[in-house]
Structure 1
Amino acid sequence: MHHTRLLTFGVPLLAGALALTACGSRDEGDGKAGTGGAGTTVTIGFDAPLSKDLAAVGLGMKNSAELAVKQANADKLVPGVTFRLAAKDDQATPNIGQQNAAAFVADPAVIGVVGAYNSSVSAAMRSTFHDARMVQVSGANTAATLTQGADYKAAPERQYDNYFRTISTDAVAAPVMARYFYEDLKVKKIATVDDKKTYGTGIVENFKDAYEKLGGKVVIHQSINPDESDYAAVVNSVRSSGAQGVFYGGEYPQAGPLKKQLVAAGFEGPMGGGDALKDDALVSLAGAEAADGVCAHSDGAPIDSLDSAKSFVSAYKAAGYSEPYGVFGAYVYDATTALIKAVAGAVEKNGGKTGDITQLRPKAVEAMQDVAFEGATGKVGFDEYGDSVNQVISVNCVKDGAWKNGVKIVTVD
């Protein structure tokens, strides 16, 4: 069982921050694995949706990973090694993600992969990376099943010892939203809607369990097709159900239009959801007025409130990226840094040489489990399942057409 306690900004959240330096230029290198010593180039793979609906969030994640690589090179974090980032676009599609995973494994210069964004995509990639004994680390996946299995509530069991994440699971975050809706917003009857994807169905399940334990009632459950844009049937069902609010399991490209259509149909209740809703694009998709009342959780305290993140935020702005780092950027930055630190540990165990990168991969997996440092998001480290040890959850809500971050901040024990 998880217990929660409210945090305030007057209490130090986490001591110490990861020291960051000015960005160095990224040496793309030749993409070939070296044999140790000066000039060795090691590739870090990156996978996320870099086109279509989720491109904005994916590109912010990619930029954050690139920033970590630049800084590792500038700081000579691994003596004699230059890192390069090789990014692939999975288009939020599991089949493409699996193809990308196979391509990363086949590249003898790739030591590990940061990604994916979608839990369903990572589910399709994991076995490929595991068979290759290659680290996979995500700063965005939240489905609890990825690390603890289908029976994670009753009998959690680690699924893959090479898979890690720097972000909390839905099993940690969704109950915070359930309590916020039931106790803070006084919503006693709610409708749940999902997009039929791994992330969406999982977060709805976790929300429902926690909400009903508090005494709330889920009066109706509906699903949408994320490839469609007209949700009239779902909207009408929700409106006639007697629900006082809606909890949506899915992503912002569909959540925005859904909220807009609910408001247009006369439904005045708030909408809740997970971190995949928290994007400025949701406001523009729903319209500023209709977007009011949308609340979404995010991992950690708001990044701009953390002393540990100031250097990351400053360096990201200085780099001149055209896309914002978004809700996942700092977690991807820390995930990339964690992988680089694991490589440092693996090289050290290998006598200070990289050698054959494919042979170094298992050593990086072993080293990753022991990685621990103060990152942009605070304490970075992994428990026995490969999950993040830093479990702070923020509730954020749209008011007057803009996101208000940290409406409530909770640490989950």
Structure 2
Amino acid sequence: MKVSALKHSAVAALALFAACNVASADTVVKIGHVAPLTGGSAQQGKDNENGARLAIEEINAKGLVINGQKVTLELDPQDDAGDPRTATQVAQKLVDDKVVAVVGHETSGTSIPASKIYSDAGVVQISPSATNPTYTLQGFKTTYRVVATDAQQGPALANYAAKVMKVKSVAVVDDSTAYGQGLANEFEKTAKAIGLNVLSHDATNDKAVDFRAILTKIKGENPDAIMFGGMDATGGPFAKQAKQLGMRARILAGDGVCTSSIAALAGNGTDNIVCSEAGMGLEKMDGGTAFEAKYEKRFGQHIQLYAPYTYDAVYIVVDAMKRAKSTDPAKIVAAMPATDYKGVIGETTFDSKGDLKHGVISLYGYKDGKKALLDVVKM
């Protein structure tokens, strides 16, 4: 064979090799995650991100094929600092990054403003922890959540307080956020309906550290319980200062307070807290024990609260891809309503708004600073 022929054969072989490599290359698909990674709720935000990351690492390790094409998932993690304005900026960044879906945001106050941006872009958004009813009442086809709502959580707390704790009178305090105010309002509505005496409703903010003025006023009202709508970063000091003032009232709170970090934040006021989670407790989840072991091995820390929900949310997105036989965001949106996924948190099916068809509320108390399940309410 002539030298020129050899060169031609070599070039052809290289071209064929390159073409095969292109054909066999994995398609990289980005899934966004948003939570506060800075600020008072950063520990919960990182917990949520870890859950999503664990799912993506597992799926990539097993190998994912969509419609005959190998797919590698990539997490696009963003920090909204728990701030509504930052949340919209981050949402636009994820749209510009061409993510196919977003797991987040963590809070109602960030999830609600961000949801319009995802809707306009036609990108699925699954919040693992936003509980304000407004989030899914906007008519967006892209908006979902994998937790119960405050319209379920507030009444569950009020009913438990009245029927089990035998509370007769309550004071209400909220942190002026979409989450805290929404939960407190839902609680108050039910409390009044079932005959509890609501003595007052005060507002603080999510950056407050000193609650003694509000608590001193409430102490004079002498309620049996105080409902606090807010996160653990404020709810912990609130409970601690109530204890320091010698108040007898129990502290009622929602999922934002019901974390593994509350004992460090509330000190000797921890055992005075009764709180709710907008889902099944980890210890009652069918896959909870196995998930907890995997999570702690991978990240070397305990689960805060909603990591199992972000983990399942990623799998729900991938389930929609498989059923759609596509990674096209529009086809993922079209596949989402038919979701019927069994994961760590149980079976997930959605109603026409994007809410769970079968929400669950778990109620917890604390003994010697350790969280203990009190009751499970199926909605």
- Alpha-carbon distance between aligned partners in 2 of 1:37 and 1:49, rounded to the nearest angstrom: 37
Structure-2 residue corresponding to 1:332: 310
Deviates most, 70-79 or 133-142: 70-79
Which amino acid in structure 2 is aligned with residue 286 of structure 1?
A: A
Q: Distance in 2 between matches of 1:36 and 1:141?
A: 41
Match of 2:336 in 1: 368
Secondary structure at the counterpart of residue 347 of structure 2 = strand
Query: 1:61 is matched by which residue type in structure 2?
Result: N
2:321 is aligned to 343
Structure 1 residue 72 displacement after superposition: 1.6
CA contact (8 A) 1:142 1:169 kept: yes
Question: What amino acid does structure 2 have at the position aligned with 1:364?
Answer: I
CA distance in 1, matches of 2:23, 2:264: 50
Alignment check: 8 A CA contact 1:111 1:135 kept = yes
Unaligned runs of 5+ in 2: 1-21
Q: Determine which structure has greater relative contact order: mean sequence separation of CA pairs < 8 Å that are 6+ residues apart, divided by chain length.
A: 1
Indicate yes or no: 2:377 matched with 1:410.
Answer: yes
Rounded Cα–Cα distance in structure 1 between residues aligned with 2:247 and 2:260? 22
Structure 1 counterpart of 2:215, from 235, 248, 251: 235
Residue equivalent to 2:50: 63
Give distance in 1, aligned partners of 2:195 and 2:24: 62
Q: CA deviation at 1:372?
A: 1.1
Give the C-alpha shift of residue 225 in structure 1.
Answer: 2.4
- Displacement of 1:204 in angstroms is 0.7
SS at match of 2:248: coil
Whether the 8 Å contact between 1:379 and 1:389 is mirrored in structure 2 is: no
Partner of 1:253: 233
Provide closer, same or farther for how the CA distance between residues 78 and 293 of structure 1 changes in structure 2, counting only shifts above 3 A.
farther
Code of the aligned partner of 2:321: V
- Match in the other structure for 2:71: 81
**Residue 244 of structure 2 is aligned to residue 264 of structure 1:** yes
Separation (CA, whole Å) in 1 of partners of 2:23 and 2:286: 37
1:95 aligns with 2:85: yes
2:108 alignment partner, one of 111, 119, 140: 119
3-state SS of paired residue (1:74): helix
Match of 1:143 in 2: 132
- Contact residue 260 and residue 303 of structure 2 kept, 8 A: no
Structure 2 CA distance for aligned equivalents of residues 189 and 37 of structure 1? 67
Q: Distance in 2 between matches of 1:242 and 1:230?
A: 20
Rounded Cα–Cα distance in structure 1 between residues aligned with 2:126 and 2:316: 9
In structure 1, the partner of 2:290 is: 311
Question: What secondary structure, in the 3-state scheme, does the structure 2 residue paired with 1:95 have?
Answer: helix
Residue 32 (structure 2) pairs with residue 45 (structure 1): yes
Superposition pairs for residues 165-204 of structure 1, below 5 Å?
165-204=145-184
Give the corresponding residue for 1:10. Answer: none
1:270-328: CA deviations, max 9, x gaps?
Answer: 101110001132211221x2211201111333212332323322321232x04433211
Q: Which amino acid is the alignment partner of residue 375 of structure 2?
A: K
Partner SS, residue 78 of structure 1: strand
Deviation at 1:37, TM superposition (A): 6.2
TM-score calculated relative to the size of structure 1: 0.83
1:275 is paired with a residue of what secondary structure?
coil
* 8 A Cα contact 2:177 2:205, kept in partner: no
Aligned positions, number: 355
C-alpha root-mean-square deviation of aligned residues, in Å? 1.6
Amino acid of the structure 1 residue aligned with 2:77: A
More helix by share: 2
Which of the numbers 239, 256, 270 marks the counterpart of 1:291? 270
Q: How many angstroms does 1:388 deviate by?
A: 1.5
Give the whole-Å Cα distance in 1 for the aligned partners of 2:335 and 2:23. 18
Question: Partner amino acid for 1:107?
Answer: D
Q: Which amino acid aligns with 1:204?
A: A
Question: Which amino acid letter does the alignment assign opposite residue 143 of structure 2?
Answer: Y
- Residue 384 (structure 1) aligned with residue 352 (structure 2): yes
The residue type equivalent to 1:222 in the other structure is D
Using the TM superposition, give the Cα deviation of residue 36 of structure 1 relative to its aligned residue in structure 2, in angstroms: 8.4
Paired residues of 2:237 and 2:265 also in contact (CA < 8 A): yes
Cα–Cα, structure 1 residues 241 and 325, in superposed 2: closer, same or farther, change >3 Å? same
Deviation of the 1:38 alpha carbon: 4.1
Shift of 1:261: 1.2
Unaligned runs of 5+ in 1: 1-34, 150-158, 355-359
Q: 2:259: which partner in 1?
A: 279
Paired AA for residue 96 in structure 2: A
Query: TM-score, normalization: structure 2?
Result: 0.90
Give the distance between the partners of 1:131 and 1:226, measured in 2 at CA.
Answer: 29
Paired residue secondary structure (1:365): helix
Counterpart amino acid of residue 144 in structure 1: P
